[in-house]
Structure 1
Amino acid sequence: MRVFGMNYDTGFVSGGSTTHEPFDPATVRRDLHVIREELHCDAVRITGGVQDRLELTARLAADAGLEIWYCPFTYNLDRDELMAFVLDGAERAERLRRDGASVVYLAGSEISMMTNGFLPGRDLAERATLFTDPARLREAVPAAQTAVREFFAEAMPAIRERFAGPVGYASLPFEAVDGAAFDIIANDAGYRDANNAAAFP
């Protein structure tokens, strides 16, 4: 492997709060030091739905000597809100890169499940019920795949204008993302292990 890393959640936004409260920069700095010096990682994927937290954490990660995988992970935005968030993130990631940090930009995470309008349902709980009904899921997936492809057909040229480093996307397997659009193919919920290594490149 080129890098050995882990995920650091800066706060997944849901229900008026986040999954990282309180968010204290001194604690974040200490956590990143542990990731680098005690866990011996050389990279960190920084996720979350608050841009200022993502950027601050990424700067602290750079200070700690970590490669940054800058990854917006949003919830219940609509398509236009997601586009604005992803492009803002690309600009912030580029500022970090120009300041000397090693940065990979992941242009979102699991957007078909986490964003309104890609799959049926008003929120994640409703969309998740699709997985209990295979017939509904089979019916919904092709439209979601088309919507994801259309989103990135618009987003990627704009991202490339804003960010000059390598770009990937943290996809769900059923999204069938066109990997040719990205420099790095990244997949959430599809992991290589001893059981599937022979068939999972």
Structure 2
Amino acid sequence: MRAKGISYDTGFVKHGRNARRVFEPETVRRELGIIRDDLGCTAVRVMGGDPDRVELAAGYAADLGLEVWFSPYPLERTPAEMLALFADCAERAERLRRRGARVVFVAGAELSLMNPGFLPGEDTDERIAVLGRPDELRAALPAVRTRVNAFLAEAAAVVRARFGGPVTYASVPLEGVDWAPFDLVSVDVYRSSAIAEGFAAAVRGMVAAADGKPVAVTEFGSACYRGAGDRGALGLEVVEY
């Protein structure tokens, strides 16, 4: 399976509020058409924290003949809340799959950074800050990986009970994911000046270590504007604001 795709953000929900205030169905349909026709994509990862929005956009994408990566994105949610979100979205994704669409279910993304209970930190900013403290991160990693994999095993079971297509998870390398419960290996990889020299080799190594499973790069890029490094190597503020 090989697809050229892009992510489509339907809005992330945090503390009951949706970060994308304007969500107009006709605009969504038009933008997905641009993704297919102008960008030449064959797949789209439909992301967001609102299941109704994700389902609507995913349906439009399927109508356009795109492969749909149905991707609920929990943000600052407890494990129980995440499992409830995945269960709801897995049922929606299955309805779409039974219509004849090509659907991959993405059981969350970067859970250790975006949600409490894995890495130290009360919110996303605090957890991301740990990445800049190597000694603290190194000490935390064994427990983080144990918690992440225990949760993902449960999440995969919840999804598979409701969804009959392929399942994956959009990981970050630090999580050390056990890919046994999943059909595809998916990793978010960002190229920065600190790792540029070995970046290509690292990606090849990731593919070689996948034991024959398909590999997807679910996020990639670099911060390419002046001042991007002021608040972290990825310059996330330009994406969010």
Report if TM-score (shorter chain) is over 0.5. Answer: yes
The equivalent position to 1:197 in structure 2, one of 200, 209, 212, is 200
Alignment of 1:50-199 (within 5 A): 50-189=50-189, 196-199=199-202
Asked if the contact 1:172/1:190 (under 8 Å) is kept, the reply is no
- SS of the equivalent of 2:92 reads helix
Structure 1 contact 116–122 (Cα < 8 Å) conserved: yes
Q: Distance in 2 between matches of 1:37 and 1:19?
A: 27
Amino acid at match of 2:28: V
- Indicate the SS of the match to 1:8: strand
Determine the structure 2 residue equivalent to 1:25.
25
What root-mean-square deviation, in Å, do the aligned CA atoms of Structure 1 and Structure 2 show? 1.8
* CA distance in 2 between partners of 1:19 and 1:36 (Å): 25
- 1:194 deviates by 9.2
Contact 1:103 1:165 in 2 (8 A): yes
Tell me, in whole angstroms, the C-alpha distance in 1 between the residues paired with 2:62 and 2:197: 33
Stretches of 4+ moved more than 6 A in 1? none
Distance in 2, Cα, partners of 1:123 & 1:7: 24
Residue 47 of structure 1 corresponds to: 47
CA gap of 1:83–1:61, structure 2 versus 1, over 3 A, is same
CA positional deviation for 1:16:
5.5
Report SS of the residue matched to 2:55.
helix
**Identity percentage over the alignment?**
50
Distance (Å, rounded) in 2 between the aligned partners of 1:135 and 1:20: 36
Q: Is the 8 A contact 2:83 2:158 kept in 1?
A: no
Q: How far apart are the structure 2 equivalents of 1:118 and 1:197?
A: 29
Which letter maps to 1:29?
Answer: R
Q: Supply the distance in 2 between the matched residues of 1:194 and 1:69 (Cα, whole angstroms).
A: 31
Q: Which runs of 5+ in 2 are unaligned?
A: 208-241
Cα distance in 2 for partners of 1:196, 1:81 equals 35
State the Cα distance separating 1:158 from its structure 2 match. Answer: 2.1
Deviates more, 1:10-19 or 1:167-176: 10-19
Within 2, Cα distance between the matches of 1:7 and 1:59?
15
Return the TM-score normalized by structure 1.
Answer: 0.93
Please report how far the alpha carbon of residue 47 of structure 1 lies from its aligned counterpart in structure 2 after TM superposition: 0.7
Do structure 1's residue 9 and structure 2's residue 9 form an aligned pair? yes
User: TM-score with structure 2 length normalisation?
Assistant: 0.78
Q: Deviations over 1:90-114 (max 9, x none)?
A: 1111110011111000111111111
Cα distance, 1:15 vs. partner?
6.0
The residue number in structure 1 matching 2:34 is 34
Deviation at 1:13, TM superposition (A): 2.3
Matched letter for residue 126 of structure 1: E
